[in-house]
Amino acid sequence: MSSGSACLRREFESSRPLEIAGTLRTVALGASDPTVQVSPAGAWLAFRTAAGPATLCLRQHAGALRSPARVSAQAWGPGADEALASVPALLGEQDDWSSFDDPSFLATLPAGIRDARRHHPGLRLPSTGRILQTLIPVVLGQKVTQMEAVHAWRYLVRRFGEPAPGPVPPGLMLPPDAAGWRRIPSWDWHRAGVDSHRSRTILRASASASGLERLAAEPLGDGVSAKLQSLPGIGPWSAAEILQRTHGSPDHVSVGDFHLAAYVGAALTGKRTDDAGMLALLEPWRGHRQRVVRLIVLTGFRKQAYGPRLTPQDHRGH
């Protein structure tokens, strides 16, 4: 544990259940993300705010699966106040599942997805509100394997980031700020395994960081997605991946993902499909398509298996 600055504390209560690990795991790039450490009991996150660097520690009080959530938050660094103010959105307090959980809607879902929702009533979609820190690992994941993206992120953060403020667990790091990303030399992008297309996208995003961060305050919709895609190198897949994390989008689907369409198709029909086929399968649940995808993953389905697993029902005429 490193020494650090004064600690700010706050308690948060919610009237709804919360599964903190399942909710925040999507914020991290893999299990070894140096900026995020998630466990069933809580999480450590290091990030930059407008006021400066911050470390946030979240601890969930033990309770029944369906009981209201209670979370203790501690923050360190110049951005500690802003970090604490971001906690409700980060924990998905703005993520409203009420229409999804309506019995009439649940009845349209395959039994396996209904079971996953019943077993994970505290799953929420987080809103980080941090565009650049979310965008960069998404760009690193363009057209490469998860392992390659994780390696690149770890290498760059550890080499060009800095220790997170406060008495943090070993290895927790702050990513570079916008200026820091722009200072990375070409040979280190190469050592990280990042091609020139992805590094140029990150450099352009870093040069436009202040404008990008303003998008965090814009309401979720086609407008904010279009503005993200106006940045060269950010397409529909990247915009969806970003908005799922920065805005807690319940509906953006990662079209163009190398594996997702085949996985969703196999889960819902027993046959792999392409992006158009995936969108057609998810269309009955428009407005909640990302929730459905998250719950399919939580069913434990593996697409190598044969035959349909989630016994879908066709309710399109209802």
Tokens 């029944």: give the residue: 64
Cα–Cα distance measured from residue 89 to residue 127, given in angstroms and rounded to the nearest whole number = 5
**Is the pTM here over 0.75, yes or no?**
yes
Q: Tell me: the pLDDT tens digits for 193-217?
A: 999 999 999 999 999 999 999 999 9
Q: Tell me: the pLDDT tens digits for 250-291?
A: 999 999 998 999 999 999 999 999 999 999 999 999 999 999
Cα–Cα distance measured from residue 137 to residue 118, given in angstroms and rounded to the nearest whole number = 31
- CA trace torsion 233, 236, 239, 243 (10° rounding): -170
Give the DSSP letter string of 192-204: TT--HHHHHHHHH
Low-confidence ranges of the chain (pLDDT < 50): 1-4, 305-308, 311-318
Q: Domains, the chain, ranges and CATH?
A: 8-95 (3.30.1370)
**CA-based nearest residue to 224, from 252, 255, 260, 256:** 252
Cα–Cα distance measured from residue 180 to residue 160, given in angstroms and rounded to the nearest whole number = 7
